[in-house]
Amino acid sequence: MRTGVDIVKINRIREILDRKRSSFYKKIFTENEIGYFERKNHDPKTVAGHFASKEAISKLLGTGIGAVSWKDIEVLHDKKNKPYIRQNEKLKNMLKLLNIDLIELTISHEDEYAIAFAVGYKDENKIHRNIPNEIKEILPKRKPDTHKGTYGRVGIIAGSKGMTGSAYLAATAALKSGSGLVYSIVPEELSDIMSVKFTEIIVKSYNDIDACLNHLEKIDGLVLGPGLGQDYYKKDLVERILTQFKGPIVLDADGINLIDNPKVLFNREGITVITPHPGELARLLNTDTKEIQKKRIYYSKYTSNKYNVITVLKGNETLVSSNDELYKNETGNPGMATAGSGDVLSGMIISFICQGIEPFKACKLATYSHGLAGDLAKEEKGEYGLVATDILDFIPKALRLIEN
């Protein structure tokens, strides 16, 4: 928030109006403002208030008159005669650099002086007003008579030595997206590390594939793959989970790369969501990344139809495809092109699915709110320094904006 204040002696303005009103008006005020003065019989108090307002705005900008001209700052009045500033392109651009959307202006008078006080601030409801109804309608209202089990038991099979961040990001994203119980299922060698990293998330460890599968008996849905690593053991792990676990699975990163025979996706009984970036989808389809990028919509639909999956093709304007349905996401920014951002998205998708949202709609909501969280983080921190944990931090605010 920024402020500007100015005080003008009314007699000074009265003298100017008496001697050179026409040239004064022409230099300082717009035609709309001059028309307002005429309706007020050229009252010096009114003119002084407008003059002080322009000075106050220039001080709010921190430039003074010069970088911004008198006429770039236009003071108008609404139907209740409340003053406001109409922003031309030059003023809008200057305010944008200061991260300001709105200006509140107050003008006061007494016998000798006119005082203008301006406050510029970020409109926190701006993003909320632009949220599409098709997204708002997906997020359900919570009922009072619920408990942690009501909102799903999510499992995150992710992480390997040197890649514990993937497991942390996906699991924390699921928790921050509303899941009641989240389990981080990791190799035994990571158990102590993850137990230290987590507070609210339950850590389960395994030393063989059967032990891992045993942890899935009471799990409603899974994220499988982020930071998992690639070797023959992990290939067997992924294939057996895809074959034996009947609940929804969000397959990401190494989970996609470890698939030798994509028919395992088509033959699954449960819902499968794959979340590839273009390179991962190119490997799955045995083509190249440039070809995927040239025909993103085509390959998203092609993959969904061929393998009976929901495809979330990440990148600028992330696509969600399922059979004949297609959604193109419009939130997000280049700062989100950072390690771990996709892990956050995977955790959000499985969270919404396990809360009972229809899977395609859950993917729409997750991609939109993931991008919105990134946009909120960008507003505070900028694009260059934005990291995946910043996206995590803004998930609750993004969901609050959608909910409200």
Contact 171, 201 (CB under 8 A): yes
Among 59, 234, 277, 301, the active-site one is 59
Among 42, 45, 71, 109, the active-site one is 109
Between vectors from CA 158 to CA 152 and to CA 163, what angle results, nearest 5°?
A: 140
Contact 392, 344 (CB under 8 A): yes
Is residue 314 among the annotated active site residues?
no
Is residue 147 among the annotated active site residues?
no
Which active-site residues does the annotation give?
A: 59, 109
